[in-house]
Chains A and B, each alone.
Chain A
Amino acid sequence: MSTTIIWTIAIISGLGLLLALTLYLVAQRFKVVEDPRIEQVEKAMPGANCGGCGFAGCHAFAESAVKAPNLDNHYCPVGGNETMKQVAGILGFEIKEKAPMVAVVRCNGSCDNRPRINEYDGSLSCKVKASLYSGDTLCAFGCLGCGDCVEACRFGAISMDPATGLPVIDEEKCTACGSCVKACPKGIIELRNKGPRGMRMYVSCVNKDKGPAAKKACAAACIGCGICAKTCTHDAIVVENNVAYIDFAKCKLCRECEAMCPTGAIHGVNFPKPLDKEAVKARVQERQKKAREAAAAAAAEVKPEVKKEVDNG
């Protein structure tokens, strides 16, 4: 009896030793030498594997970053500048700091602003809905409200507001990875500069319809009237295809466009004080009046030249 136990222990132990030795030898023989910095970089990354950097995941980013000659094409939007500084420290690179971005929903077609004319009964997915028709309202460009962006967000930063039927972005949680931008079939969500202390201006509409049609579809639509572009003294607004767009690099956050917009399509967020629309309006109108008078006076002096310019234009 006792001999059986001894034999069993001996055989099993011998087998274990033999296999351990084999494993050790195989591991030595097929050892893959990996740049140790890859692991270091990966450890410094947030580990969300969201793909916001354009690589398949954090490991792929690390692999590519280690091989890259500089970090110009590598930026982790989730970790932001802090993570990038760490990565640059490990790899011995210098980085240019990037302004933090945030996702912005450019549609204000809430249930109140945009009357529903159809009822949707299909699969609850914006992609499916967009392939079937233009949406429940007369606006063929706005939010479809099925929440593909909510599903796409890995950081829980987007939720649907039941009152408006529109997605709301939690700025604290948003990492600007861009998943929602890719998920939205209507291209409503945009990554914009977060702005100083979160203050930023944007046009909350992407409707390319002409003024009357856009207005009919939605009370808060950009009607492409161009008042904002004329108001802006920083040349930050362009109106293309009947919709205005604010260039965040040029915008100086003066909020004049917001005050002048006839439909309220331009939004300013995170400003400490509420906008005194009437005061700003009066100021802008006064300035424009003066500019007109000055232009008229100048035109009276050098009329022929002005006419020539008009011909060229």
Chain B
Amino acid sequence: MARRTFSIGGVHPSDAKISRDCKIEALPIAPTVYIAVAQHIGAPAKPVVAPGDKVKAGDVIAEPGAFMSAYIHSSVSGTVKSIGPRKDLSGNIQTVVEIEVEGDEWKEGIDLSDTLVTDIPEDPKAIIEKVKLGGVVGLGGATFPTHVKLSLPPGKKCEMLIINGCECEPYLTSDFRTLLEKGEQVVVGTALLMQALGVDKATIAIEDNKPEAIEHISGIVSSFKAKGGKYQGIEVLPLMKKYPEGGEKQLIDAVMHRQVPSGCLPIDVGAVVDNVCTALAVYEAVQKNKPLVENSVTVTGECFPKQANLMVRVGTPLKYIIDYLGGVPEDAAKVISGGPMMGKAVANLDAATLKGTGGLLFLTREQTKRMPESSCIRCGKCSEACPMGLEPFLLRRLYKAGDMDALEANAAQDCIMCGCCLYSCPAGIPLLDIVSQARGQVMGIMRARAKK
């Protein structure tokens, strides 16, 4: 039987998961960490420590600045040296808390043992509160505060929770390794999310280029069915590999055959989507009292001599990670934070990791050099590839003409910046750059209008 996938567009880049056999190993703690106060979508957190304060790993160092914000915890034990501006990976200035590491002491009450706790608390509010206190944000890339996602707007009902194990980005393997090594925890985390949302059905969606993970998680899910309760409603669904399957709206289409209309949220069609690493973070926050202070990062690339999946404390300088694995290879021309499709080129290797950092990818000049731009030949490949059903070639023309009304009418604001248009364009036109500009401007106009 042909596997399910999303119905509109998509591309098939080579998956290049060369680090798939590398176990997640813990990276030794860096001598100094730099924890940014803005690591999530929404308002930056407000620092609650002062230079000179002693902190332990798991201590709150910044509190949410608004409803749409998240707690930030210290990922190490040591002394706060300064709170001030520092350049992030794109060279822009961010406020960071600099902590000099001394030993590795954890805050009391955090359970660091491997014992699996499978009992689900009854009260959904208590789960959401613990998720909030744990500073959990979506680890699929958007770093949306999870407690906000779990607090459903009044009148909305969730019909299905989808756990996103697609990892459709080429090269990245941290979700895959998490599924293999922490599968039980992910399944318990799934049940916790179900309890918080008050939903009885959950689907763990995994692309079929990861058969080991599908088999492993299926085994765990069927063995957990005996426990009853929320565990009975969990299913594993293998999906056909296609990029960008891990996109929220694409995944809902693939799993539930429902389209999220323009301007709507997944909950409007009864779905909530969370990443597998988010499920793990929820498990740790709720069952182990352990806040989100470390995440798994894939360090990979054909030109990089040592592939690795590392458990990295939040705020570790990128340079420290790279030096630990032997430094930047000579023929690497570009370092990307994240995957090759949606990741961001790193302009500053002194920058530190964030909660949402999922990978560090090294590419050579041949791999990254863009082809020279030529004229659009109206082949329509970008429209075919766009998973949101947009027409990137048209949006480009409208943007060049400065027609904002037409851009809005043609749904430039729906762009998910997956890069399929740029990937498929035979003329080398920087469609993604232009469409994401258009998206930003249209969204700005829409926000301004909503304020009035």
Contact = CB atoms under 8 A, between A and B. Distances in A.
B436 to A, nearest CB: 7
Contacts of B91: 133-135, 138, 140
A3 interface: no
Interface stretch (A124-132, A161-169, A290-298): A124-132
A118 interface: yes
B79 to A, nearest CB: 23
A140 B92 contact: yes
A57 B345 CA distance: 41
Interface in B328-349: 333, 344-345, 347
Contacts of B151: none
A125 B90 CA distance: 17
A133 B370 contact: no
Contact of A134 (B92, B333, B369, B430): B92
B434 interface: yes
A187 to B, nearest CB: 15
Contacts of B333: 119
A127 B437 CA distance: 8
B1 to A, nearest CB: 42
B332 to A, nearest CB: 13
A133 B369 CA distance: 18
Contact of A131 (B87, B93, B437): B437
B368 interface: yes
Q: How large is the interface on A (under 10, 10 to 19, 20 to 34, 35 or more residues)?
A: 10 to 19
A117 B335 CA distance: 13
A92 interface: no
A138 B350 CA distance: 12
A121 B344 contact: no
B440 interface: yes
A133 B347 contact: yes
A132 to B, nearest CB: 7
Interface string A272-292: 000000000000000000000
B433 A125 contact: yes
A53 B284 CA distance: 60
Contacts, number: 45
A122 to B, nearest CB: 6
A121 B347 contact: no
Contacts of A128: 430, 433-434, 436-437
Contacts of A127: 437
Interface string B421-443: 00000000010011011001000
A142 to B, nearest CB: 11
Contact of A140 (B93, B369, B436, B437): B93
Contacts of B437: 125, 127-128, 131
A140 B370 CA distance: 24
Given A128-B430, A128-B434, A121 B369 contact: yes
B430 A133 contact: no
Interface in A98-155: 117-119, 121-123, 125, 127-128, 131-135, 138, 140
B396 to A, nearest CB: 10
B370 A134 contact: no
Nearest to A127: B437
Given A121-B368, A121-B369, A121-B370, A134 B434 contact: no
Contacts of B434: 123, 125, 128
Contact of B430 (A119, A123, A131, A138): A123
B90 A122 contact: no
Contacts of A133: 90-92, 344-345, 347
A92 to B, nearest CB: 37
Contact of B347 (A123, A125, A131, A134): A134
B430 A132 contact: no
Contacts of B436: 128, 131
Contacts of A122: 370, 430, 433
B172 to A, nearest CB: 20
Contacts of B433: 122-123, 125, 128, 132
A312 B344 CA distance: 50
A132 B92 contact: no
Contacts of A138: 91
A70 to B, nearest CB: 30
B433 to A, nearest CB: 4
B382 to A, nearest CB: 15
Contacts of B430: 122-123, 128
Interface in B44-102: 87, 90-93
Nearest to A135: B91
A224 to B, nearest CB: 14
B90 A132 contact: yes
Nearest to A137: B91
Contacts of B369: 121
Contacts of A123: 430, 433-434
Contacts of A119: 333
Contacts of B368: 121
A216 to B, nearest CB: 12
A131 B440 contact: yes
A132 B344 CA distance: 8
Given A128-B434, A132-B345, A134-B347, A140 B87 contact: yes
A119 B347 CA distance: 9
Those 6 A-B pairs whose CB atoms lie nearest each other, nearest first: A134-B91, A123-B433, A133-B90, A123-B430, A128-B433, A133-B347
Interface of A: 117-119, 121-123, 125, 127-128, 131-135, 138, 140
Given A123-B434, A127-B437, A132-B433, 15 more contacts: A117-B347, A118-B347, A122-B370, A123-B430, A123-B433, A125-B433, A132-B344, A133-B91, A134-B90, A134-B91, A134-B92, A134-B347, A140-B91, A140-B92, A140-B93
21 contacts: A118-B347, A121-B368, A121-B369, A121-B370, A122-B370, A122-B430, A122-B433, A123-B433, A125-B434, A127-B437, A128-B436, A128-B437, A131-B437, A131-B440, A132-B344, A133-B90, A133-B92, A133-B347, A134-B87, A134-B91, A140-B93
Interface of B: 87, 90-93, 333, 344-345, 347, 368-370, 430, 433-434, 436-437, 440
